[in-house]
Amino acid sequence: MRALIVTNMWPSPASPALGSFVRDQVEALRVVGGPDLDLEVAAFPPGGYARAVPDLRRRAPADVVHAHFGLTAWPALAARGRVRLVTLHGTDVRHPRSGRITRAAFPFQDLVATASADLAADLRTRRPVAVLPCGVATDRFRPLPRAQARAELGLDPDTPCILFPADPARPGKRHDRAAEVADAAGARLLTAGTVDPAQMPLWVNAANVVLVPSDHEGFGLAVLEALACDVPVLATPTGIHDVVLPGIDGVLCAPYDRDRWVAAAAPHLTAADPRVAGRARAELYGARTMALRVLEAWRELLGEAPDPT
């Protein structure tokens, strides 16, 4: 099988965190697909849709053309392929203008997918929608000694720390809420807006607790990364948060309320090494497990028999 991934979300020296989850899925697909999968990536910067078309036209024909992010589905039409699909990640659905442009591309797709069922519900479309998340890289995100993580990052070993694992400049991530909790709890607030993805496991393990107080999430990767490290996490019920967090002691999935969130964070901020039993839950959404789902979706679109393994 020959597949072409077309995306405007891909890490670069200037933006190392951009689309790192798409890159992780590509790497996982190459592992689970083995020698029978010939996988190429056509990545271009956000906004570079028209400039991407000549390159896509020159590409060799593919069995599958898979676009990541709704607006990318349009230049992906320039690539020759037997079947086409697009995975939607959030703002391509929920932003009024981007959502309209994204939905206009649906008739040209053999399959429309979203990163979560929560996001699929926001599509309000009658056509079938698959749920094909990218998944969490559990090989990188794993428990590390908190003292080691803080030493490598140059953080004080004893100061209680809360991690806000997003860019504070993105209003929907609600840095204001995280700052309010940290201030009320007397903790240092760490932010991850400029953190290289390769360093993120250290930042997660360095934190006493991770806060994800977002208005909306397309998926919920930051929560899974915290769970994969067995680090406590508090999150609003969006994306897959209310699917993966229930039943794990020491976490919270609830609408934002400062007093409730401060009370939930407090035990973790005073514990010497606060941990939760989250890794087994995160592994259900591991990058390779999710890549297998994508591979099976490709095979089904092509009319191939499922892999017996």
In terms of pTM, does the model score above 0.95?
A: no
pLDDT per residue rounded down to tens, the chain (309 residues): 999 999 999 988 888 878 889 999 999 999 999 999 999 999 999 888 999 999 999 999 999 999 999 999 999 999 999 999 999 999 898 889 999 999 999 999 999 999 999 899 888 888 889 999 999 999 999 999 999 999 999 999 999 999 999 999 999 999 999 999 999 999 999 998 778 888 999 999 999 999 999 999 999 999 999 999 999 999 999 999 999 999 999 999 999 999 999 999 999 999 988 999 999 999 999 999 999 999 999 999 999 755 544
Question: Whole-angstrom Cα distance, residue 102 to residue 114?
Answer: 12
Name the strand (E) or helix (H) holding 26: helix 20-33
Question: Whole-angstrom Cα distance, residue 177 to residue 162?
Answer: 12
Do 162 and 190 meet the contact criterion of CB atoms below 8 Å apart?
yes
Do 231 and 275 meet the contact criterion of CB atoms below 8 Å apart?
yes
Q: What is the pLDDT of residue 307?
A: 55
Q: What is the pLDDT of residue 308?
A: 46
Q: What is the pLDDT of residue 100?
A: 93
Beta-carbon neighbour count of residue 290 at 10 Å? 25
Q: Which residues contact 42 (CB under 8 A, 6 or more apart)?
A: 4, 5, 6, 7, 52, 55, 56, 59, 79
Q: What is the pLDDT of residue 19?
A: 86
Q: What is the pLDDT of residue 236?
A: 98
Q: What is the pLDDT of residue 269?
A: 97
Place of tokens 């990058």: 287
Q: What is the pLDDT of residue 305?
A: 57
